[in-house]
């Protein structure tokens, strides 16, 4: 199995192009839906409650939002706390019943529970996978594609990842970052170097990306963490012909955590990379 990037000839970095574009979750979600790589479901997780109502505790509701919603016995549920993590959370609990018990707050939730959790907007680079014996077919991804280049075997992407992350960290500017809500943070903190954390995996194609919560165990923090990261690599099965392998680049700040980036793709200026890509 090999990783291959389909593109137009002018953007082939193994032949003529000296720049590499990293997309973002927001960019792909908001693309013209007529474009083959647009995906309106990109960049967020949608949870729905169980078809048959169950009773859960306050900690379970906190977990499923990843800490963006925090409730306790004193919370006013008509006005949930605002999100406190990068991205945004929509937390709908229509028709839920809130009950105070000796064990603390309990909530009876059913199919009307809806949680839409957006990831911090991050950079992405998407390629395809083909078998060693397969013939490259650029038009399988887009009718406008007429070229391709290979990165490496998908078990050995370290050199390519290292090259891209170094270029990104060297060329990242404050203007690339979505710093809304961080205007009062001292510049001495913002100027600290960020670490580019790369998650990469084969994309799983599913009929429906919606996560259906069925029992209280589905609301635990461990389950949330598992869903959070695996969902970055799930797409609707209408894209299955792309056979995608995805790189997600999270920017981790030493004091501010994961930073969001602006919607616009990042165009990296490249040094010679003949050791990491090829046309054969």
Please state the domain extents for the chain: 2-43+120-206+235-269, 45-118
240 has pLDDT over 60: yes
Burial 252-278 (b: 16+ CB within 10 A, else e): ebeebebbbbbbebbebebeebeebbe
- Of the two residues 232 and 102, the one the predictor is more confident about is 232
Report pLDDT for 206. 95
Mark out the alpha helices in the chain (DSSP H runs): 25-29, 58-64, 158-171, 187-190, 221-231
Which pTM does this prediction carry?
A: 0.84
Choose the weakest-confidence range: 33-37, 59-63, 270-274: 270-274
């Amino acid at each position: 199995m090999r990783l291959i990037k389909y593109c137009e000839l002018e953007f082939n970095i193994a032949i003529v192009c000296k720049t590499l574009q990293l997309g973002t979750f927001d960019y792909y979600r908001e693309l013209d839906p007529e474009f083959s790589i647009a995906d309106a479901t990109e960049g967020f997780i949608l949870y729905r409650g169980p078809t048959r109502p169950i009773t859960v505790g306050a900690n379970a509701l906190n977990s499923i939002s990843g800490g963006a919603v925090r409730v306790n016995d004193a919370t006013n549920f008509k006005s949930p706390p605002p999100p406190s993590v990068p991205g945004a959370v929509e937390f709908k609990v229509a028709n839920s019943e809130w009950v105070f018990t000796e064990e603390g707050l309990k909530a009876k939730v059913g199919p009307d529970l809806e949680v839409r959790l957006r990831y911090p907007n991050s950079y992405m680079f998407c390629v395809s996978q083909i078998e060693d014996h397969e013939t490259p077919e650029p038009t399988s991804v887009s009718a406008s594609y007429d070229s391709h280049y290979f990165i490496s075997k998908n078990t050995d992407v370290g050199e390519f990842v290292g090259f891209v992350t170094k270029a990104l960290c060297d060329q990242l500017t404050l203007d690339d970052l979505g710093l809304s809500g961080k205007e009062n943070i001292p510049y001495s903190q913002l100027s600290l170097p960020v670490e580019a954390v790369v998650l990469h995996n084969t994309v799983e194609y599913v009929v429906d990306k919606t996560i259906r919560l069925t029992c209280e165990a589905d609301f635990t923090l461990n389950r949330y963490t598992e869903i959070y990261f695996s969902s970055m690599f799930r797409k609707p099965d209408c894209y299955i012909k792309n056979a995608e392998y995805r790189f997600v680049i999270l920017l981790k700040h030493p004091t501010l955590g994961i930073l969001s980036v602006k919607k616009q793709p990042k165009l990296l200026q490249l040094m010679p990379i003949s050791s990491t890509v090829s046309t054969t």
